[in-house]
Structure 1
Amino acid sequence: MSGHRRRFDEVLDWFSPRRRYAPLDATAWLRNVNPSGDGYGTSDEEVLGFDDDLPHGAASTTVPISDFTVQSKCKYSDFSTIDWPLELARDRQRRKNFRAQKVSGCLPWLKFFFDSGSAWFCVFAVGIWTGVTSAVVDIGEGWMSDLKFGLCQRNFWLNREHCCWAIPSHNCTDWQTWPQIFGADHSMVGHFAVDFGFYVTFAVSMAVFAAVLVVFIAPYAAGSGIAEIKCILSGFVIRRYLGVRTYAVKMFGIILSSASGLSLGKEGPAVHLASCIGNITSRWFPKYANNEAKKREILSASTAAALSVAFGAPIGGVMFSLEEASYYFTFKTLWRSFFCALIAGLAVRGVNPWGNSLPTLYHVEHTIRWVVPELIPFVVIGILAGLLGSAFIKLNMALCAWRKSSSISKHPIAEVAFITFVTTILAYSNPFTKMSSSLLIRQMFNNCGKDSTPEFCYGYPLESGNVFYYILGALVLKFIFTTVTAGIKVPAGLFVPNIAVGALLGRLVALSTQWLVNNVISVDSYKGYCKMGENCVTPGLYAIVGAAAVLSGVMRMTVTLVIIMFELTGSIEFVVPTMIGIMFAKWVGDATHPVGIYEAQIDLCGYPFLDNRDDETVEASVGDLLAVKPNRELIVLEQAAISVGRLVTLLRDTSFCVFPVVTSQEEMIVVGFIDRVHLERQLAAQVVPDQNATVVFGSNAISAGPGCLHWEKLVDMAPICVNVHMKIEIVVEMFRKLGLRQVLVTNNGHLLGVITKKDLLKFVRHN
């Protein structure tokens, strides 16, 4: 608790009528908000219905732009929204004061150099730290994932790939499976019992341990975190969401959960990890530690570094930050994001967690070029991917809503254990779901040739083998696993599972297309495209298109996915087919479900997020919004005089974040408004034992007497006001473009009410 808040608590205690009988918990009213929520200056979560797991409490703070507030630092309370105009004004004032100082001597020049280059120093440190973190996660996940199957006898810290690095896998004796270690490989029943037992035991244990870390140490480490990061980058404040504890639990938790075999990925949590790193690193630089708007520039660069190290796609990471994550993305943020992604990519390549010399994560070498008739199956893949994406969003949101309202939310660890147990049992029966998602994607992306594993290639799939049905079963299981897993209390991403689902879908379409070419379509109609006796379809290409299309159907990204898939595979030849699949998936997805998965999660949690890509067409005015607000008294402060006791009562009994200042209760002519935090600070700094002492918020203090307190410096004399007849669409754009937290509603200069960001969001969503 800050010093001014403790001092203000003493003021509340002094004026409390219960002081002689029992100690007053002066912070109780600060921790609890009015549950009815009238939308007038109350905390953001009150109206928008936050998740019950999130802590309720501190009233939001809106800091007016005045000489006093520009010079002072404001610490925003939990679940509030930053004041973008104020933060930018603070930064301009800081730079103005810095330039006004006389630079002479070595130390001032060093300070000037450090301040000027702090952005580059900060993103450089973020890039290095993010790259090392990603390498640790990759190495740990690879080793623990293979631990379910066996152990390297020579060097137990090596996974299977590195244990048999220079030896063909079928001749490698250093890697021992659990049946071999326990001497049960001679009996079929014994082999199955030991292999299955260790597989399930390790999987459930890893997942449960990850859930224990999340539930008891850092609840914010659960899930992907991208939806919350989007809100934070738009100006929302969630305390402890980007802290050291969350970072540590997220890092170890994602190693455990991804290695357990659950249908989740570590690429989404990488964004949360990088944002934690950006937030922690920014504390070392006063330029960003003391300014929330500038800090979000570092967070935008951090999200770019996350995708750079997660997929080995630095340009895709920058595009992800621009297209999906960031709310305000300036030109200098673009350069810093590019630099941060570059440094992170170099760092992770220096560590080389994959232990190979391949330039990309899923490097493919396809020699067969795609032909024009294949545009039809590419379109089919896009349509199916769009339908799958919308189905996933609807089912997962319905499941998450049920999970929140049911008793299962009280037993998150048991839920994780049960889902992991069922997942491992069902996944064990299918060779495609038994392997890790990364290995599955790599196999699906590979083309069939003389060196390919037979069970992953078709040959004549529908006539002589069961690979088609295995892939179909794996697709159904993977889709169900991903739908159920997203939302449980472990670190979990959505990128890799949906890439795997899309790769399986594309492979199925490739098998079907090849069968049609061989058995249905006449050879004459395909002359010039395909020679007799040769396979006319490149299944790896179809898997790549399917992976990108399903991601587009789920997340509704376009350009970013094309670049990521190109950087993932290194195949520039397949950019056009990928673009076709992505566009059709997005069109179908938008037609069947209006928003992507992250926007749906934001709506479900009720975060105050105004999507700058939406085009609201609400036919209403500001007066219509005021008419539907709860009929409660408008609390204002008169500029002439008000007693200290009255101020203390208002602050104790209300949770409003701002108080409009008017000439009088009768005239209601707007003078400005005062932030509640500045009132608390001023009361804490000037303790007056007499609660009848008078406070003046204007220059006219004739009626106040000679002993009054002049606090007019706290008043923002230039508030943003809108007319009661203004269209809601214009107000929405004002909140988006200016980063506002509230506006005053007037008519001919007379105050009628206050509209906050959550008031506007509630009205737009309901209309």
Structure 2
Amino acid sequence: MSDLCQLSPKCQAHEQPRLPGSESPVIQGGLTVFLGVSRWTLTLQEELPSWHVSRNWGSTDFPCVMRSVQRFLQESHRAMVCPQHNRLLRGDSSRQAGLHARLCGLALEPAHSPRGPAGAGQQNCNSQKATRVPRRRRITWAPSGARDPDGRHVTAARVTRTNTAAAPAAGPLRRDMANVSKKVSWSGRDLDDDEAAPLLRRAPGLGVPAGEAAPLLNGAGPTAARASPHSAFFRIGQLSSVELDDELLDPDMDPPHPFPREIPHNEKLLSLKYESLDYDNSENQLFLEEERRINHTAFRTVEIKRWVICAMVGILTGLVACFIDIVVEKLAGLKYRLVKDNIDRFTEHGGLSFSLLLWAALNAAFVLLGSTIVAFIEPVAAGSGIPQIKCFLNGVKIPHVVRLKTLVIKVSGVILSVVGGLAVGKEGPMIHSGSVIAAGISQGRSTSLKRDFKIFEYFRRDTEKRDFVSAGAAAGVSAAFGAPVGGVLFSLEEGASFWNQFLTWRIFFASMISTFTLNFVLSIYHGNAWDLSSPGLINFGRFDTETMVYVIHEIPIFIAMGVVGGILGAVFNALNYWLTMFRIRYVHRPCLQVVEATLVAAVTATAAFVLIYSSRDCQPLRGSSVSYPLQLFCADGEYNSMAVAFFNTPEKSVVSLFHDPPGSYNPMTLGLFTLVYFFLACWTYGLTVSAGVFIPSLLIGAAWGRLFGISLSYITGAAVWADPGKYALMGAAAQLGGIVRMTLSLTVIMMEATSSVTYGFPIMLVLMTAKIVGDVFIEGLYDMHIQLQSVPFLHWEAPVTSHSLTAREVMSTPVTCLRRREKVGVIVDVLSSTASNHNGFPVVEDADGTQPARLQGLILRSQLIVLLKHKVFVERSSMGLLRRRLRLKDFRDAYPRFPPIQSIHVSQDERECTMDLSEFMNPSPYTVPQEASLPRVFKLFRALGLRHLVVVDNCNQVVGLVTRKDLARALPHSLAADPATARRWGWPGQCVAHMDALCSQCSLPQSHPWGPTPSLLFLIL
């Protein structure tokens, strides 16, 4: 559909239809959509300001078009059509840029305008009259403050469905809107029934009993819908975050065929699967009373427990790393010895095709098993886990990300994927594993095993868990590379949203313990109990700093290598972006994901075998650096150098490229290996397997870096300083920095892993250059995948062009507020209603109705659920029916899986009771005036780790609520506010999903489905 996306200046005049019972025309302006033979109309009503989309039932394009239209309506709740300029507007004119492309995948033409010529488009009008319309569907979006044709208020954030057909025949929808959202995510699953309220409820209509209607908030009555007897009417409110990523099915109509899933580009979509974590303590009366009871001794006990937990995290992370390393070494050695013996035997007698089949079958078998357990048991264990941990530390709740089952699948999956010969590494998943270990130990219980050890109960809150997860991530890096300082810097640079001096000490302590544990256990395993010779999962070996020196005239060479690494990293990320979009569209079923992973394993083995077979690069046998030498057609005492790179684990291949003497590799061998392994690694990243990208990136960079060094030695006449191993190290750093865009932490990791401080400055120079060059084209790999998964991730600072926006323009409104003493029935209705989709509710004073109520505090949904579960009602307390006074421990026991509101039974008599929220609400929530600028709101929200920020007026009356998703939705619009400042290739560090919207002046198509890839290839070519 992308080739149809264009704006036409033509106008058409259509006969203005009327709704049944309406005396005035309803269509005053809008957009007409033509898609193939189908005709769509997006109109604006005068009496009921709503967007309408209507179509004939004769086409099968409805679900695809409706997804795009619905996304546009969600993101443009203050949009309007400007007849003079034939473009979409939102708010003021400073944010027009890029909004005309919001209806991606549709062909848009301005429809009738009050100022349009009367005779235009008469032919189309006649054809429209002749079209038979057997059935119609209408989608309506009503902005805040709208009124229906009868003059009744239409409540915003209201999701209803009114069926005006013969009532009894219209059954319920085949699926509610919560189950309609099926976008592929890290969790790989839809919302559970017990985790989200139904997002679509029937409203009273003809033939529908009044008792089945969902309660309306703020006293608003049901909306009367006027439509033809053969139509359905939907109302999507402003606060609704429903994502129509699948078919909207009519009750009486079967879907013609399944449609591929849509993914966002040119717009900012946020998935319903992700909620925010609350890194701000709710200082209610219970919290303050507990803090006052803690004396100096109790405080020291809490601090000691923190250090004990960090030590346990380091020990267990080191032991897990040892287990992974030992099992991989055993299984990989068994596989490669079996294949080597088979190749040696068939080389003499012929029939190497059987060796190829054996190699491919073994790889496919391991990967098949590893992909199956990930795809069908715990999809969140796929990949390295670094993007998920970054989101968790940023304040986003990723489902199942720190569960015990995730750890088991992650460890098993990474072993099978590495042994399966994929272009992956086992170091990246160690960061995720350490984070899961830290999250589990700090809570003193396992929700997966349903075991509560009754320890560390004080740390059962998001704030404490965040700090321990930071320590676990650092311990994972330390165990992977033997770099405790690098682990601390990685946690600071890539993940932590909060940092202080005491946290730094504890994280460093956990990293130190992790490195020591791994070193000690592996030294015992290798027979050197007291040598401590294995500091990490990978040991790059020591470089001879006396012979491998660098001189001043090499600095421009290092900068040039950084430029090459940045460009290659950008190409890698762009190709992976294209591939990920293809996977989300078409490879979204677990069975297809397993098939793809198995296919990649077989292709990897086939490509490696073909390159080894066709290579004639024979080198003298050096047993110290070659673990499994393949002779093939080489003479006795020689081995095939291509097999060193392919027929080995990636870690050993990197060490070989770093330290093998000059002449060990032919330039043609390195060139072919770099090209093939580059595309294999790009294809592999994103598969449904547990794997990392660190080692493949280092291996690619080491290969082309060594090739660069060999070429340089030819040019300079084999100068002493032109050592291939040194340039292999610089190329590895440049390639990894160009892909993941890490600078500070990666510098220290490389220095600690190589046990050399001599190359500190060159590594810094290469990494900085690679990051600067790569950011010109596209974001880093981790940030790119975070954006592709529609996660509301907040960066450190708001865009510099966002000062024109205020809190009033980004907040959600209207806000559902509760009184200090509220009826239980009202609270149950608020929690059950899809309109109140926030997890925090402002508490206002009891007003007499003559004046608006003022803000008194804020209470969370989780707190209300615990209160309802324990039935903390005023009447029960006065009658002495409460067994005991509620304590803060009751809330911690329910953390983090609070029961859904549907599981709490409240009788009709209890609904009339009253609940006093004064003791449980936060009496001092953070607030901002509605005139506050977006950067100020963003800084307050981001720095304090808030989940809700209340917007008030001058009289301290609640006017709106700012959440993480509100800020994440607003930031792309602020970037596109000033087209003059938008670069041709996008903003450095900006999400690739929005780059096309900013490139409105490019000669390339504005709407293409493959993100920045055409732009990048256009620049390179």
- In the alignment, which residue of structure 2 is the partner of 1:421? 602
- In the alignment, which residue of structure 2 is the partner of 1:363? 541
- In the alignment, which residue of structure 2 is the partner of 1:282? 442
Deviations 1:11-33 (A, max 9, x none): xxxxxxxxxxxxxx9x9585246
CA pair 379-447 structure 1, distance change in 2 beyond 3 A: farther
SS at match of 1:745: strand
CA pair 666-471 structure 1, distance change in 2 beyond 3 A: farther
| Contact persistence 1:39–1:758 (CA under 8 A) | no
The partner residue of 1:724 within 930, 939, 949 is 930
How many Å apart are 1:53 and its aligned residue? 13
Distance 1:88 1:144 in 2: 53
Alignment of 1:129-140 (within 5 A): 129-140=316-327
- In the alignment, which residue of structure 1 is the partner of 2:196? 31
Say which is worse superposed, 83-92 or 212-221, in terms of deviation: 83-92
- In the alignment, which residue of structure 1 is the partner of 2:489? 319
> Letter of the aligned partner of 1:680 in structure 2?
I
| Contact persistence 1:235–1:293 (CA under 8 A) | no
How many Å apart are 1:719 and its aligned residue? 2.9
Distance 1:280 1:730 in 2: 35
> Letter of the aligned partner of 2:373 in structure 1?
L
How many Å apart are 1:616 and its aligned residue? 4.4
Deviations 1:467-486 (A, max 9, x none): 11211111111211111111
- In the alignment, which residue of structure 1 is the partner of 2:76? none
- In the alignment, which residue of structure 2 is the partner of 1:470? 669
> Letter of the aligned partner of 1:31 in structure 2?
A
- In the alignment, which residue of structure 2 is the partner of 1:564? 749
Distance 1:622 1:47 in 2: 29
SS at match of 1:669: coil
Distance 1:224 1:93 in 2: 42
CA pair 340-122 structure 1, distance change in 2 beyond 3 A: same
- In the alignment, which residue of structure 2 is the partner of 1:412? 593
The partner residue of 2:281 within 51, 75, 86 is 86
CA pair 39-384 structure 1, distance change in 2 beyond 3 A: farther
- In the alignment, which residue of structure 2 is the partner of 1:678? 863
> Letter of the aligned partner of 2:295 in structure 1?
R
Distance 1:305 1:647 in 2: 44
Distance 1:234 1:47 in 2: 27
Q: Does 1:752 align with 2:922?
A: no
Say which is worse superposed, 482-491 or 387-396, in terms of deviation: 387-396
Structure 2: gaps spanning 5 or more residues:
1-175, 177-191, 201-234, 247-259, 264-271, 445-454, 613-641, 874-905, 975-1021
Q: Does 1:446 align with 2:627?
A: no
Alignment of 1:501-580 (within 5 A): 501-518=700-717, 535-580=720-765
Deviations 1:453-504 (A, max 9, x none): x533xxxxxxxxxx11211111111211111111110001111111111111
CA pair 666-299 structure 1, distance change in 2 beyond 3 A: same
Distance 2:261 2:517 in 1: 40
CA pair 517-288 structure 1, distance change in 2 beyond 3 A: farther
How many Å apart are 1:132 and its aligned residue? 1.1
Alignment of 1:344-383 (within 5 A): 344-352=514-522, 355=526, 358=533, 361-366=539-544, 367-383=547-563
Q: Does 1:742 align with 2:953?
A: no
- In the alignment, which residue of structure 2 is the partner of 1:331? 501
The partner residue of 1:186 within 330, 334, 348 is 348
How many Å apart are 1:118 and its aligned residue? 0.8
| Contact persistence 2:807–2:933 (CA under 8 A) | no
How many Å apart are 1:572 and its aligned residue? 2.2
Distance 2:354 2:968 in 1: 56
Distance 1:652 1:469 in 2: 66
| Contact persistence 1:300–1:321 (CA under 8 A) | yes
CA pair 124-37 structure 1, distance change in 2 beyond 3 A: farther
Distance 1:605 1:343 in 2: 34
- In the alignment, which residue of structure 2 is the partner of 1:145? 332
CA pair 745-542 structure 1, distance change in 2 beyond 3 A: same
The partner residue of 1:436 within 649, 654, 668 is 649
- In the alignment, which residue of structure 1 is the partner of 2:783? 599
Deviations 1:250-282 (A, max 9, x none): 111101101111111111100011111111211
> Letter of the aligned partner of 2:796 in structure 1?
N
- In the alignment, which residue of structure 1 is the partner of 2:32? none
RMSD: 3.3
SS at match of 1:85: coil
Distance 2:920 2:292 in 1: 22
More strand by share: 2
The partner residue of 1:693 within 901, 905, 912 is 912
Distance 2:364 2:400 in 1: 28
Distance 1:589 1:659 in 2: 43
CA pair 246-413 structure 1, distance change in 2 beyond 3 A: same
Q: Does 1:653 align with 2:653?
A: no
> Letter of the aligned partner of 1:346 in structure 2?
F
Say which is worse superposed, 318-327 or 425-434, in terms of deviation: 425-434
| Contact persistence 2:430–2:480 (CA under 8 A) | yes
| Contact persistence 1:48–1:606 (CA under 8 A) | no
> Letter of the aligned partner of 1:747 in structure 2?
D
Deviations 1:674-708 (A, max 9, x none): 3333333333314564367263xxxxxxxxxxxxx
CA pair 197-249 structure 1, distance change in 2 beyond 3 A: same
- In the alignment, which residue of structure 2 is the partner of 1:219? 379
The partner residue of 1:177 within 336, 341, 346 is 341
SS at match of 2:950: strand
SS at match of 2:276: coil
| Contact persistence 1:661–1:674 (CA under 8 A) | yes
| Contact persistence 2:604–2:680 (CA under 8 A) | yes
> Letter of the aligned partner of 2:651 in structure 1?
S
- In the alignment, which residue of structure 1 is the partner of 2:796? 612
Distance 2:670 2:388 in 1: 34
| Contact persistence 1:314–1:338 (CA under 8 A) | yes
Number of residue pairs the alignment of both structures matches: 636
How many Å apart are 1:596 and its aligned residue? 1.7
SS at match of 1:261: coil
Distance 1:215 1:327 in 2: 30
| Contact persistence 1:39–1:756 (CA under 8 A) | no
| Contact persistence 1:29–1:652 (CA under 8 A) | no
Q: Does 1:264 align with 2:483?
A: no
Distance 1:688 1:443 in 2: 72
- In the alignment, which residue of structure 1 is the partner of 2:635? none
If the length of structure 1 is used for normalisation, what is the TM-score?
A: 0.76
Alignment of 1:621-660 (within 5 A): 621-622=805-806, 625-626=809-810, 634-638=815-819, 643-654=823-834, 655-660=837-842
Deviations 1:620-654 (A, max 9, x none): 33355258x6xx75433355x75443333332223
The partner residue of 1:397 within 577, 584, 587 is 577
| Contact persistence 1:626–1:753 (CA under 8 A) | no
| Contact persistence 1:88–1:293 (CA under 8 A) | no
CA pair 472-88 structure 1, distance change in 2 beyond 3 A: farther
- In the alignment, which residue of structure 2 is the partner of 1:701? none
SS at match of 1:455: coil
- In the alignment, which residue of structure 2 is the partner of 1:386? 566
Q: Does 1:296 align with 2:502?
A: no
Distance 2:656 2:353 in 1: 27
More helix by share: 1
CA pair 578-217 structure 1, distance change in 2 beyond 3 A: same
Aligned sequence identity (%): 28
Distance 1:444 1:280 in 2: 39
Distance 1:373 1:660 in 2: 64
Distance 2:244 2:928 in 1: 22
Q: Which has the higher contact order (CA 8 A, sep 6+)?
A: 1
> Letter of the aligned partner of 2:550 in structure 1?
W
> Letter of the aligned partner of 1:118 in structure 2?
K
| Contact persistence 1:87–1:292 (CA under 8 A) | no
CA pair 283-690 structure 1, distance change in 2 beyond 3 A: closer
